[in-house]
Structure 1
Amino acid sequence: MDDKARRFRALHEGPGAFILPNPWDAGTARILAACGFAALATTSAGLAFAGGVRDGGTSRDDMLAHCALIVGATPLPVSADLENGFGDSPEAVAETIHAAAAVGLAGGSIEDHTGRRDAPIYDFSLAVERIAAAVEARQALPGDFVLTARAENFLWGRPDLDDTIRRLQAFEAAGADVLYAPGLPDIDAVRAVCSAVSRPVNVVIGIGAARFTRDELAAAGVRRISIGSSLARLAYGRFARAAQAMQREGRFDFLDEAMGFAEIEAFFTSFAARER
């Protein structure tokens, strides 16, 4: 396991930006591995949708069981979306870090979103204390674990770049390995975040209207690009539109875009060949 974590950390130290895609089951994990990606990350939304519940509606036990499934599907390092650590207190966050490492994860992220719409972001001091507790838990582990700290302002109606940077800087000072502010509106904001911190920065693709290329993000200083729920939402969107067309119109045009058995199974054959 420690080898996976070391490989994952090394990806953040290389030149340019690497893409960290997000599968939501063993099959999608193996397809991504067959495509040549070097590491994977879970998606809390993808897991929730697969369980038929809203994002944020999954228990910690179910989340960890899902993480173990993704970890076991390939030999690649896996980082987990650990949401807010499944509790408000620093102690709850620390427990989640220990539990995440125990299922074989190479890393994980903790966000400062409370899960409450009336007060969606933790107060600054508590947010920092929570990351400090996660760092302390990481340091007590027998092996490595790459900790990502997330500042969620832009996802929850608080588009305050100055406060976002202040939080990321405080998370860095507390010992976080990777910094992440989902939903940044433009490349100037991305560049400002990367310039304000010295640790690797993750940017997610697929949130909001902004679209960036890997080269644009790398030039702005980004080291890691995640996809979040975008691939899962793409699959669910096409599935739902096909189902609606069948029910409302009796049409099956979606079959023209369906991937054949041989093509799908070729990914799994390729994955198995890589393992030999």
Structure 2
Amino acid sequence: MVSPVETLRALHHGRAQDDPLVLPGPWDAASARVFQEAGYEALATPSAGIALSLGYEDGQVPPQEMFEAIGRIVRSVSVPVTADIEAGYGLAPKELVDRLLETGAVGCNLEDSFGGHGTGTLRDPAEQAAFLAAVREAAGDRLFVNARVDTFVRGVTDPQDAIERARLYREAGADCVYPILAPAEAIPALRAGIEGPINVVAVPGGPSPRELGTLGATRVTFGPGLLHRAMAGLKDIAEQLR
């Protein structure tokens, strides 16, 4: 019998260029069920979306509440779930892995910077690679590790900087790399310079998931974007109730 992590890992390989793995981002159990019922093969929780659903700003959710929220999402569906756990909450790799596995999640995002979007700092890439290697050692094959590369979100626009970090993270054992907010025009260069799966975020008004796949994305996620769209729809409903 194939395990959920093996299923998730397999979904990242052997894909046609115009058929990226599309992973909707549920923020609670109800939204997770909607995405599963729509036929998606796996889900990817967004930390910002969960934060908003719990009444926090992005990056302010206490770790215990985040793990509990991830656990509720995992229990509500039968497809593999990978979770955004930010920079790891300052936990030692083994504790981080153990707590995540307790939720039932079989994958994670780990970002390489700290602080808010306007004031954050990139972590030294060698230090981040060492952290990822320790996570991989603690997890073995039990987790699909998606290493987020924050160069673009921190204002570093040269794709080569992202490529160099991505190579280090892949060598450290990451299954996939995620150059978040990479502009569409940078994706072909990233694809050419990075071996293995690449995660790209779809943004409102930007290329569709299929178009991102054609540019070089292996998988497409949405961050908190689907929650924002749902809230816009809910706002319209609320206005109609007057």
TM-score using structure 2 length: 0.90
Partner of 1:85: 88
Alignment partners' CA distance in 1, 2:77 and 2:14: 22
Q: What is the SS of the residue equivalent to 1:179?
A: strand
Residues 121-159 of structure 1, C-alpha deviations (whole Å, 9 max, x = no match):
1122212222122211222xxx52111101112112332
Deviation at 1:102, TM superposition (A): 2.2
- Name the counterpart of 1:191: 188
Moved more, 117-126 or 163-172: 117-126
Match of 1:179 in 2: 177
Q: Deviations over 1:178-204 (max 9, x none)?
A: 111110112x31111111111111111
Query: How far did 1:99 drift?
Result: 1.4
- What's the counterpart of residue 62 of structure 2? 59
In the alignment, which of 200, 216, 220 is matched to residue 203 of structure 1? 200
2:232 corresponds to 1:253: no
Structure 1 CA distance, aligned partners of 2:155 and 2:93? 24
Partner residue in 2 for 1:233? 228
1:221, CA displacement in angstroms?
Answer: 2.6
Q: How many pairs does the alignment contain?
A: 238
Q: What is aligned with 1:13?
A: 13
State the partner residue of 1:46: 49
Distance 1:64 1:80 in 2: 9
SS at match of 1:180: strand
Q: Which residue of 2 aligns with 1:273?
A: none
Higher alpha-carbon Rg: 1
Which consecutive residues of structure 2, in runs of 5 or more, have no partner in the other structure?
A: none
SS at match of 2:152: helix
Greater CA deviation, 65-74 or 151-160? 151-160
TM norm structure 1: 0.80
Partner amino acid, structure 2, of 1:189: A
Distance (Å, rounded) in 2 between the aligned partners of 1:80 and 1:62:
13
SS at match of 1:69: helix
Which position in structure 2 is the counterpart of 1:212? 207
Q: Any idea what the Cα deviations from partners look like across 1:2-36, whole Å, max 9, x if unmatched?
A: 71111111101131311000011111111111100
Change in Cα spacing, 1:81 to 1:145, as seen in structure 2 (3 Å) is same
Aligned to 2:4: 4
4+ long deviations beyond 3 Å? 116-119, 237-243, 252-255
2:2, 2:166 → 1: CA distance? Answer: 27
Q: 2:151 corresponds to which residue? A: 153
CA contact 1:84–1:93 (8 Å) conserved in 2: no
- Structure with bigger helix share is 1
> Counterpart of 2:79?
76
Match of 2:39 among 36, 39, 44: 36
Matched residue type, 1:167: R
Cα displacement string for residues 245-266 of structure 1 (whole angstroms, at most 9, x for unaligned residues) = xxxxxxx4378xxxxxxxxxxx
Aligned to 1:129: 130
Q: Kindly, what percent of the aligned residue pairs are identical? A: 32
